[in-house]
Amino acid sequence: MALAYTGSILAPEFAIARLLLCLLYGIGIGMLMAMLFWRDDASHDAETDTLFAEKANIAPAALGVLVSLVGLLIAGTLKLWPLTATVFSLELPLSWAQAWQDKLFAWVPFDAARGEEGVSFQGSVLIALLLLIAAIAWKGLENIVEGANQWTWLTLGLSAITLAVAAMRLTPGPGTLEIAFTGRVVGVTLALEAVWHFAQ
């Protein structure tokens, strides 16, 4: 999710750089730890080899989840025509949407020439969803090893909704809010469905 957000808000290059740097740091720190604690690792390996030798493998479901998450990252970040094209759009009669957008630009100015990015209406919706996830995640994910509860499903559902909203285009207009469903929404929805299928 973090990589998908990075790619959709900043650029795909930032998501790829973040992924590569995470791998580089992870491998580097792992090698450093291995050099420092090689004696402990050797004794631990000797104890566990007899228990797990020739039994370790990747379950098909785990591989499916991994591939689905990579698909989610690609669908959420790449700026290709099938993903950016509008499949259909609808307009909601929300007269306050434009007023809220104007207020956001008054608080956080938008001027591309001066490097001011501002906060869009869609950005404020995503921030609100992320704050809501943060507020309930501690109840749903804190003791996840003991099993899922209703807060867990609510947290995961809100996370999926947040990814779907990030894939849409929300554009306030005079008295309306246009919601454009892009190919990215379709791709993200299919990837989330695949994650759900393999995770069960």
What are the structural domain ranges in the chain?
1-56, 57-199
Contacts of 77 (CB under 8 A, 6+ apart): 3, 4, 6, 7, 8, 12, 15
Rounded to the nearest angstrom, the gap between the alpha carbon of residue 105 and the centroid of all alpha carbons in its chain is: 26
Could you give the CA distance from residue 44 to residue 38 in angstroms, rounded to a whole number? Answer: 10
CA end-to-end span of the chain: 19
Is residue 77 scored above 70 in pLDDT? yes
Tokens 């990814």 map to which residue? 163
Q: Which residue has the higher pLDDT, 1 or 86?
A: 86
Distance, in Å, from the CA atom of 35 to the CA atom of 167, rounded to the nearest integer, reads 44
- The most distant pair of C-alpha atoms in the chain lies apart, rounded to whole Å, by 71
Beta bridge partners of 90: 179
pLDDT tens sequence across 168-188: 999 999 989 999 999 999 999
Q: Which residues share a beta bridge with 92? A: 177
Give the model confidence (pLDDT) of 88-113 as tens digits: 999 999 989 999 999 988 888 777 66
Between 141 and 163, residue with greater pLDDT: 163
**0.85 surpassed by pTM:** no
Integer angstrom CA distances of residue 83 from 60, 92, 132 = 28, 23, 27
Q: What is the pLDDT of residues 112-137, one digit of tens each?
A: 666 667 788 999 999 999 999 988 88
For residue 89, the one-letter residue type is S
